[in-house]
Amino acid sequence: MAGWRHIFLVTDIEGVAGVESWEQTQSGPRHEAAKALATDEVNSVIRALLGPPDIPGPTLLRISVWDGHGCGGLLPERLDRRVTFYRHDDARNFTGLLRESLRGEVPVDALGFVGQHAMEGSGGTLSHTYSSRRIRSYKLNGRPIGEFDLRALYAWALAKIPTVFFSGDNVACNEAQSLVPGILRVQVKESLSLTSARHLEPAHACTRLTDSAKQILERDLSDPSLRPSFFPEPPFEFRKHFKLKFGFVPRPPQTLRGDSLTAVLGKE
């Protein structure tokens, strides 16, 4: 575990085992059940890194958890109490929280993703890019990127923070590996369509996550395979393409340009 001090976990709900319907991602009884599944998966990763929750005393490793699902994807009261938790509606969002975590007493060493979905149009279960209703695609210097890509690239541009861990369906796992070749991936379901998948049983998914996440601390943070394989040179052009409004009204694309990747990508 030499060199490891602080891991920042980004969580979502669409990549969790047992979740395959949009209804499970929006407010309602099925959403609450899905949040319980997501919380159990996140706890499985935390306990792989920190040990069982009944271990007394302070931990040597700090873990921050940000609920990255728009309307909330975790049950805070069920989350392991040893972590620093940031709510889904925290106004600082991912970029602000990561910057603040770097300035803290124990700066962030690495990024991890639990329950992440693939990008819009990829063929993954519940795949989308930020908004399933509004966003058709994001492109950075002509290359399509999804939520994972944007955040992993932002972290690397900000302070050479590597992304070391990822869980989701097979499409999302492949997407993560295409950007970060050496990332530790845990597939908890196989995508069959946008709204169907072949899932591991939740308990099996949690066991697989725990077993795999134990390997995180064996990684060398300076391993070249944890660097993004795609990291363009400036100037940067970040284009957002939108879906038709009401199904028939075109929306013009939005383009951000600049020489700082963190500034260009910082407006998620």
Q: What is the pLDDT of residues 85-94, one digit of tens each?
A: 999 999 999 9
- Taking residues 136-156, what's their average pLDDT? 98
Over 90: is that where the pLDDT of 44 sits?
yes
- Taking residues 118-132, what's their average pLDDT? 96
**For the segment 184-213, what is each residue's pLDDT rounded down to a tens digit?**
999 999 999 999 999 999 999 999 999 999
**For the segment 62-121, what is each residue's pLDDT rounded down to a tens digit?**
999 999 999 999 999 999 999 999 999 999 999 999 999 999 889 999 999 999 999 999
Burial grade of 127 (CB within 10 A; 0-12, 13-18, 19 or more): buried
Lowest mean per-residue pLDDT among 18-32, 155-169, 242-256:
242-256
Over 60: is that where the pLDDT of 57 sits?
no
Q: What ranges do the domains of the chain cover?
A: 6-231
Over 80: is that where the pLDDT of 150 sits?
yes
Burial 192-204 (b: 16+ CB within 10 A, else e): eebeebebbebee
Looking at residue 59, its amino acid is: T
What are the tokens at 97?
A: 């929280």
Q: What percent of the chain has pLDDT over 90?
A: 90
- CA pair distance 207, 228, nearest whole angstrom: 28
Which class is 6-231 in CATH?
alpha beta
pLDDT in the model for residue 249 = 85
